[in-house]
Structure 1
Amino acid sequence: MSEIVEGRSPGRARLIVGAVLASFAGVYVLAAPARTEGAVRVAAAIALVAVVFAVPVVRVASRDGRWRWGIPVQAAAAYAGVLAFGTSPGILGFAAGSLLLAGAWPVAAAVVGSAAVLGGADVTITCLLTGLVVYGLVRLADRADDTAAARLPVTLAAVARERLRIAAELNRGLGDGLREISEGSRRALERPEAIADVLDVARRSLNEARAAAADFRSMSLAPEASAARALLESAGVRAEVRTSHGEPLGPAGALLAMALREAVTDVVRVGTARTCVIETSEADGFVRLRVVNDGVRTAELGEEGLEDAARRVRAAGGAFATGLGEDGRFAVEASVKAGERPVSLPDRAAYRLSVGLLAAVLAGFAVKGLLQVPWGPEWPVAAALLVLIGAVQLFWTSTGRPRAWAPYLAVLSFAPVPLLGKAWLGVAGFLVGTLLVGLPRRVAVPLVAAVMAAVGAGAWALRLGPAAVTNYVISTLVTGLVVYGLVRLARLVRDLRAAGEELARAATVQERLRAARDLHDLLGHSLAAILLKCELARRLADVDPKRARAELEEVVAMAERAGKDLETATGGEAGLSLDGEARSARSVLTAAGVEVEMDLAHGEVPDGTSAVLGTVLREAVTNVLRHSAATRCVIATAQEEGVVRLVVENDGLDPAAPRTAPGSGIGNLTTRLASAGGTLSARADGKGGFRVEAVVGQSRPGEGAG
């Protein structure tokens, strides 16, 4: 699949078509010395074959309409070879295939009809099959090109649809809530008693924003795994994460994320582990999470500390188990039903075309073979065996497991030769196709050579001449390449489409994760600040009406900025700046009674850097308000040689407090900074302080780690 994702499959498709067409042309080139005399005439016949072969090759290499001008030249070369140099009329099939590709079906039928006049039934079947194979292979190569080219538009369309869906979901709740906050704050300027209503709406909107962010994140376990790794490593536990599940996960993701969070928190709380392995897998419709650590823990503790996770997983129909393994390591295992994942089915049109053409080739070959079998007791046996071979060939083509059928086809290809003679020698070509499709190249090539040698030996044992022996050997390879080309091209198209669907699905997950980050980092902060300001205005309404009014006016402005944050979360451009967020941080922290010391020395910075550092500052200030009892906060920036540094420190961390699982904010910010070429450090100093440091620019390895 990696080659398909990297986009080389369309080139491979054209290579396959070229190889099959070249093998067809090779049959006529090798037959030229036996059909005409003299070196000059043989060279002329070969040159005409090359002209006939060149037109479909040009068609495969370039899909513009100019190749059609070569069809009359191709037809003239084909007829000249047949009439002047004795080339088999079967070569007219190349011209018929080109006409089919050009949409000239009646003319293609006339060409096949002329082959009947020039060469009889056997040659007519060859001409018809050649035309169908040329048409089918080129159309399959076109389908591979089209499918590969459609992957990016399909992905972009999936992202656009997801943005519209996110916008609809958020605007119905959060958009209405922000409008209510803005309008209610304006009313409260005249009627202070209305502040209580604004507070209710702000609380509801903040809860909705957090719930929506959690819902969006639940499509992927990646954010929770990143946060878990960060927590473990900050606690001195070496973490290893191995994921092998498919996404998006939906509700299963939310449950497993919660189980992972509690399991990792438990590892850190016990405090004796040195290593922890987090694994995910998927089988039989269930996604499985396994967290294993080497900390000392008694089996009696069991699910203590993990009861909520166990209860919720089991309530959803999943399984949850804890215990010591034989190696003495403690394991937490949870499995949840994956649920439905809407993914379009791979395109079946390519397979239908491939199977239809293969059926036509089988039917044509059967007719050609039966024409060589005298009427008598052998004829019904030959007919029954050909039907059986055709059924086997079509069955493995549909099931996709040719390897299991190779031994049966080998027996059917050679066992009837003593009874049916030369009429059965060509059947081995289908065995060659099966080997090429079903086995690795290093195994298939020697086996194909062995099959061709066996066909040659059989033809020699039947006392056929050197020309006939050569023809049967080459025809075996050509038939095998036709089968390989039809099936392999159909699978390339299928895999390309599946890869495109996977890419679109991954982009959808990433878009939801982006929305979750924006909800948490942008809108969540804005709503938390609004809630704080409203609460402050409510308390000041009786004692300091003037200041209460000023706070409400700022709430109106903050609600308008939050509306822009909502636009960002639904796919709009971010309007954050480091300077603007610094001003907002000072206002919000001061309103919360936190002394602010600010030293901004970053100067002019690019908009992108300003926006991402503004987001870091928002998250850091939100954490000061939500997770600490800070009385003092230091915000400092600096810029040196293109490297911009932001530091936020506060004194509100209790050194004796147990470690807890980090929220999604740190993981979100790490992702944002990484995409901007930056680094993030967030850690306690052991003395009651907490320091967040973000560095963006061409920093040296490890710079910015504090």
Structure 2
Amino acid sequence: MQNKNRFDRAGDEDGEGARPSPPKRSRDLLAPRVARTILVMALISYSVVILLNILDTPMPTRHTAVAIASLVVVLALQLRHSEPGANRAPLRRRLLTLGVQAALTYLPLLIFRAEWGAMAGFLAGSLLLLLPPRVGWSLYAVVGVSLVVPSLIEHRSVLVTVYLCQSTLLTGLVTYGLSRLSELVGEVHAARGELAHMAVTEERLRFARDLHDLLGFGLSTITLKAELVHRLIPGHPQRAMDEIQDVLRVARDSLADVRRVARGFQDMSLEQEISSARSVLSAADIELDVKVELRPFGARSDAVLAAVLREAMTNLLRHSKAGHCTIDAEHLGETVRLTVANDGVDSGYRDPSPDSGSGLANLGIRVRAIGGRVDAGCVKGTKGTTFRLVAEVPAHSEVVQPPFLGEKLILRPGSASRITASD
């Protein structure tokens, strides 16, 4: 039974168990490893430059040992701060490690003076990595300006002071940028598997939709005509033979439809589906009025409207006791509208079957994919309840020849071999 705007889900849930992930190949992890290696080498290189400056400065051996130990601790902290997801650690832990890094950045300045000032660049980068943007960027600027103090104490020139501040800020930016880049490379690489799974899922849903929409009408037609043949054999054997030929044709078409699924409906046409509808409804003794007034329009829109008409005929045969059906197709500006209506509808009927179908949902997905819309529902009138399916799709630039241009076709029961046209 066709129900107003009752669209079932486009696909059933996957009943399969959890699928094991394929083993990761070493080359699949190359990009994250390269990004991480570049980050670690850059941090080590900055640390080595600071170490060389300290070793070049005359000082007691114990001071040198303290400087090396502090440098190793700061480097370890920075590597931890630059790990992916470090900014999602508990706030207390982040503040603790930042506090230790800040202490090891500023306290050694009392001994090593400006030679230790380059370590502030690591602290600036860690602030950007671990704290919210507004707080992080504010403290980043404070760290850069703080290097003015040791320069003033040592009576350094303005150029040297500017150099220390600028190099600190630059080191912070490089540290932050390489750390974020390494994390993003890892995230993007990890997302490839999810994207591939989503693509496979989408293709499975498309295949299921296409198989449902293509075969539903054909199988319903075969069932209907087989029942008709069964009734005709005793009294009208010749007509039964004709219907058998038609059943064979529909069966061959259904087989071709299975192959057509891979092409995604691209070779379906509204003309073919109207012709099939005439044959099927005639066999079911359902009166059909067809009115098609179309200009040339796009092949993709034509295929989608063909799918809409096929699903409408499937629903008519399965869920109604129709005696009359109308098919109207027309241009409305840059839009093509297809309207299918039939009587014989019980507005209170609900199909209790769990396999009642998802054809209307499939149509909604298919029509919206090309920028159109579809609406379905029951309309009460003086002659009873009518089910109406309306689909509107954009007319694309790719041109096809529309069927029955400018003609109005009237089909009456028992007149399958003779179609009349009128203005």
Q: Does the TM-score normalized on the shorter chain lie above 0.5? A: yes
Q: Distance in 1 between matches of 2:146 and 2:68?
A: 23
Q: Does the alignment pair 1:683 with 2:373?
A: no
1:375 Cα offset (Å) = 4.0
1:454 Cα offset (Å) = 1.6
Question: Is residue 669–residue 680 contact of structure 1 (8 Å, CA) maintained in 2?
Answer: yes
Match of 1:533 in 2: 225
Superposition pairs of residues 490-505 of structure 1, within 5 angstroms: 490-497=182-189, 503-505=195-197
Q: Which of residues 39, 47, 54 in structure 2 aligns to 1:355?
A: 39
Match of 2:73 in 1: 388
Question: Is residue 32–residue 185 contact of structure 2 (8 Å, CA) maintained in 1?
Answer: no
Q: Distance in 1 between matches of 2:217 and 2:367?
A: 18
Code of the residue aligned with 1:666 in structure 2: it is L
Question: Is residue 350–residue 493 contact of structure 1 (8 Å, CA) maintained in 2?
Answer: no
Q: Which of residues 658, 664, 667 in structure 1 aligns to 2:358?
A: 664
Match of 1:694 in 2: 391
1:508 Cα offset (Å) = 3.4
**Residue aligned with 2:82, SS:** helix
Q: Does the alignment pair 1:408 with 2:100?
A: yes
Could you say if the C-alpha distance between residues 455 and 341 of structure 1 is closer, same or farther in structure 2, counting changes exceeding 3 Å?
Answer: farther
Question: Is residue 331–residue 337 contact of structure 2 (8 Å, CA) maintained in 1?
Answer: yes
1:587 Cα offset (Å) = 1.7
Deviation per CA, 1:187-242: give whole Å up to 9, x if none. Answer: xxxxxxxxxxxxxxxxxxxxxxxxxxxxxxxxxxxxxxxx999449xxxxxxxxxx
**Residue aligned with 1:377, SS:** helix
Code of the residue aligned with 2:325 in structure 1: it is C
Q: Does the alignment pair 1:595 with 2:286?
A: yes
Could you say if the C-alpha distance between residues 485 and 657 of structure 1 is closer, same or farther in structure 2, counting changes exceeding 3 Å?
Answer: closer
The structure whose RCO (Cα within 8 Å, separation 6+) is larger is 2
Question: Is residue 609–residue 696 contact of structure 1 (8 Å, CA) maintained in 2?
Answer: yes
Which one has the bigger helix percentage? 1
Quote the RMSD (CA, aligned, Å).
3.4
Deviation per CA, 1:562-590: give whole Å up to 9, x if none. Answer: 23322332235532211211121122223
1:427 Cα offset (Å) = 1.0
How high is the TM-score relative to the length of structure 1? 0.47
Code of the residue aligned with 1:382 in structure 2: it is A
**Residue aligned with 1:689, SS:** strand
Code of the residue aligned with 1:452 in structure 2: it is G
Q: Which of residues 63, 74, 87 in structure 2 aligns to 1:378?
A: 63
Could you say if the C-alpha distance between residues 570 and 380 of structure 1 is closer, same or farther in structure 2, counting changes exceeding 3 Å?
Answer: same
Superposition pairs of residues 317-466 of structure 1, within 5 angstroms: 339=18, 347-371=31-55, 372=57, 374-402=59-87, 404=94, 405-466=97-158
Q: Distance in 2 between matches of 1:689 and 1:229?
A: 11
Could you say if the C-alpha distance between residues 529 and 659 of structure 1 is closer, same or farther in structure 2, counting changes exceeding 3 Å?
Answer: closer
How high is the TM-score relative to the length of structure 2? 0.75
1:610 Cα offset (Å) = 2.5
1:457 Cα offset (Å) = 0.4
Q: Distance in 1 between matches of 2:351 and 2:216?
A: 23
Structure 1 gaps of 5+ residues are 1-226, 233-249, 256-315, 317-337, 699-706
Superposition pairs of residues 60-75 of structure 1, within 5 angstroms: none
The count of corresponding residues between Structure 1 and Structure 2 is: 372
Structure 2 gaps of 5+ residues are 396-423
Superposition pairs of residues 243-642 of structure 1, within 5 angstroms: 253=13, 339=18, 347-371=31-55, 372=57, 374-402=59-87, 404=94, 405-497=97-189, 503-571=195-263, 574-591=266-283, 593-606=284-297, 607-639=299-331, 641=333
Could you say if the C-alpha distance between residues 369 and 552 of structure 1 is closer, same or farther in structure 2, counting changes exceeding 3 Å?
Answer: farther
Question: Is residue 294–residue 329 contact of structure 2 (8 Å, CA) maintained in 1?
Answer: no
**Residue aligned with 2:338, SS:** strand
Question: Is residue 636–residue 648 contact of structure 1 (8 Å, CA) maintained in 2?
Answer: yes
